[in-house]
Amino acid sequence: MENVKYSKVSGIATYLPEKVLTNDDLSKMVDTSNEWIVTRTGIEQRHIASDDEYTYDLAYKSAIKSLEQENLSAKSVDCIIVATTTPADKCPSTATKVQSMLGATNAFAFDIQAACSGFVYGLSIADSFIKTGKARNILLIGSETMSKVTDWSDRSTCVLFGDGAGSCIVSSTTNDEHKIIDTKLYSDGERYDQIVIHNSLKNGGMGHMTMKGAEVFKSAIRCMSDSMLDILRNNSMSIDDVNWIVPHQANARIIKSLCELNGYPLDKTIISLQKHANTSSATIPLAIDYGMQNGKIKKGDMLLITAMGAGLTWGSALVRL
């Protein structure tokens, strides 16, 4: 048993672009208001990348913070995983660009595309790499510039999204007190068309997002609820064993409905979207960092993480920090 390796999560860090777009700012662009947006989404503002600021820039700035927190050199990183829906280029990967910017010459690097579930998918992949001995220190990043694929004339979607990045170090440990306990991943291609950013190969250029809002709302509640129940059941745990629920930060009404459906206490649920809106794959690390910075999440806490995104993809993770 001494040789059993676990994977731990540490060095959680985030980056948000300097420009802030408030709801009042948006009301000058489309027919909306601060009250309308807050009532329906809980969002108060979002951060917007500048014209010459790309997904890899946000990822790099977040990654630097993670490495500094853990006093880890870039050359000590074995693997870089970037979850993103909004790469600056179709090819090569955002992860290899970040590798170059960091000087992480000993790492292998790749992107994953699971939309808003990307960070949860990345946790599961990193956990597997650690436990099978493929890597010792993995830099996991969720980074998005959603503003670049948002139709700012579409009131139904433009109020929802923002830009940001979050990262962490997933590393090997023999200490089972701080570890990724379990991850569960799911997808349903039959609901492929509920959220789509149209491919340039079809449309002659990167298209804007289209979303079937009412269907996505219902799917998000059901999918995240089911995956949370599954992972708790599979580990013989209940919600009482969890310190904090960390859901994907898409809409405050979705999060509240998720808790109401299962009788989960809202006061042990992290909600940070009011500050950054839906940043897709970056919302989970942004929410964890928000909880830590506000004195809620502490070392040793048990987190129940859950997300759903386009695909549809969804999943949950149990992590003791």
Give the residue numbers annotated as catalytic, written as ranges: 116, 248, 278
The answer to whether the CB of 118 falls within 8 A of the CB of 280 is yes
What tokens does 142 get?
């969720």
Single out the residue of 189, 170, 145 nearest to residue 49, CA to CA: 145
User: Do 6-173 and 179-320 fold alike per CATH?
Assistant: yes
Asked if the model's pLDDT at residue 63 lies above 80, the reply is: yes
User: According to the model, what pLDDT value does residue 198 have?
Assistant: 79
User: According to the model, what pLDDT value does residue 1 have?
Assistant: 38
Going from N- to C-terminal start, the domains of the chain cover 6-173, 179-320
pTM of structure: 0.96
**For residues 174-203, average pLDDT:** 89
Single out the residue of 281, 307, 246 nearest to residue 82, CA to CA: 281
User: According to the model, what pLDDT value does residue 208 have?
Assistant: 79
Q: Across the strands, what pairs with 321?
A: none
User: According to the model, what pLDDT value does residue 107 have?
Assistant: 98
CATH architecture observed for domain 6-173: 3-Layer(aba) Sandwich (3.40)
Taking only the tens place, the pLDDT of each residue in 267-298 is: 999 999 999 999 999 999 999 999 999 999 99
Q: What percent of the chain has pLDDT over 70?
A: 96
CA distance 270 to 290: 8
CA distance 169 to 180: 12
Taking only the tens place, the pLDDT of each residue in 27-40 is: 999 999 999 999 99
CA distance 8 to 226: 25
Asked if the model's pLDDT at residue 205 lies above 60, the reply is: no
Q: Output the CATH code of domain 179-320.
A: 3.40.47.10
CA distance 158 to 30: 9
CA distance 319 to 321: 6
What tokens does 230 get?
């599954």
Taking only the tens place, the pLDDT of each residue in 125-169 is: 999 999 999 999 999 999 999 999 999 999 999 999 999 999 999
User: According to the model, what pLDDT value does residue 5 have?
Assistant: 85
Q: How many angstroms separate the Cα of 237 from the Cα of each of 76, 97, 241, 242, 299?
A: 35, 40, 6, 8, 20
- Going through 66-197 in order, the beta strands assigned E by DSSP cover 79-83, 108-112, 137-145, 163-173, 179-187, 195-197
Asked if the model's pLDDT at residue 64 lies above 60, the reply is: yes
Q: For strand 79-83 and strand 137-145, is the pairing parallel, antiparallel, or unpaired?
A: parallel
